Structure 1
Amino acid sequence: MATEHTYRVIVRGKWDGLTEEGRARLRAEADEQGLAQLRFTPEGSLACDPSMTSFAYRYVVVSDAADGEEMAAALAEEKAEHALRAAGYGYRDLRSSATDMDTMKINRKRR
C-alpha cells in the first residue's frame, strides 16, 4: 500500500498577451476576493501582482510519497495550465516549488 503525502505547491508564471479585458477581470476578481482568499486549496488560489506582469497559484496536492515533490509540482502546474487556458489567459515561464507537509519539521519556541 502506497503512502500519500500532502504537498503545498506554488506555481509562478508571467502573463503573456494579457488583454485589457483580462486585466480588468483579474482586478475585479482580486478586489472581490481579497487577501483572505489567498490560501492553499485543491482548486488553486490565484494571486496577481499589481502591475499585472506575473502571478502565482497556490495548490494543495495529495500524491504518492514515492513520487515526491517533483510529481506534486508537475500535477499543480498541469492544474494551473488548465485553469489559465479555461479562463483564456495567456501565460509563460511556469515554474513551481513544492513542500511536503508530512515531512516538514516544526520548530517550537522554548519557554
Structure 2
Amino acid sequence: MTTRTFRITVRGVFDGLGTEQRSELLAGAAEHDVLQAAFTAEGHLSYDLAARPAFTFRFLDEGEAEEDILEAIERAEAAATAWLCARGYGFKRLRAQGEDLSQAPLGKRQRRAIAQNTTP
C-alpha cells in the first residue's frame, strides 16, 4: 500500500490572555511569523498578535488509507490543544481541516513534467 501525506491546519483565536502571556507571545513572534510557516510533523505555530489574536498550527501527517485523514485531524487538534493548555493560553473557536496531498490537483509545471516523461 502507498503512503498518503496529509497537511492539517488547526485554526483558532487566543482568548483571555493576561499581560504576561501576551508579552510572552509578542516576544516569540519572530519565530512564529506567518511568512516562515511550514507544515511539520510536530506542528508549526504562526500568529501575528499585533494584528489580530488568531493563530494557525500546521501539521504534516501520514496514513495508508483515505480514511486515515480523520485520525490525523484528531491528532493535530489534540496536539494543538495540548500545546496551548500546557502554556496556559486561553483559546476559542478551534477548528481543523485536512488535505490529502495525493488528492490535490497538480499544478501546471507538474502536469507538464508528467506529460514530458510519458511522451514516447
Give yes or no for TM over 0.5: yes
Provide Cα deviations, 1:79-103, integer angstroms capped at 9, x if missing partner: 1011111122111111011111122
Work out the percentage of aligned pairs sharing the same amino acid: 35
Aligned residues: 109
Give the aligned partner of residue 29 of structure 2: 30
State whether residues 15 and 52 of structure 1, in contact with CA within 8 Å, keep that contact through their aligned partners in structure 2. Answer: no
User: Which residue of structure 1 aligns with residue 46 of structure 2?
Assistant: 47
Q: 1:56 to 1:34 in 2, by over 3 A?
A: closer
Q: Larger % of helix: which?
A: 2
CA contact (8 A) 1:23 1:52 kept: no
Which letter does structure 2 place at the counterpart of 1:98?
G
Alignment partners' CA distance in 2, 1:67 and 1:48: 30
Considering fraction of residues, name the structure with more strand. Answer: 1
Bigger shift: residues 48-57 or 33-42:
33-42
Greater relative CO, 1 or 2 (CA 8 Å, sep 6+): 1
Deviation of the 1:43 alpha carbon: 1.1
- Which residue is 2:60 aligned to? 60
TM-score (norm 2): 0.76
Gaps of 5+ in 1: none
Q: Distance in 1 between matches of 2:17 and 2:2?
A: 41
1:40 maps to amino acid: F
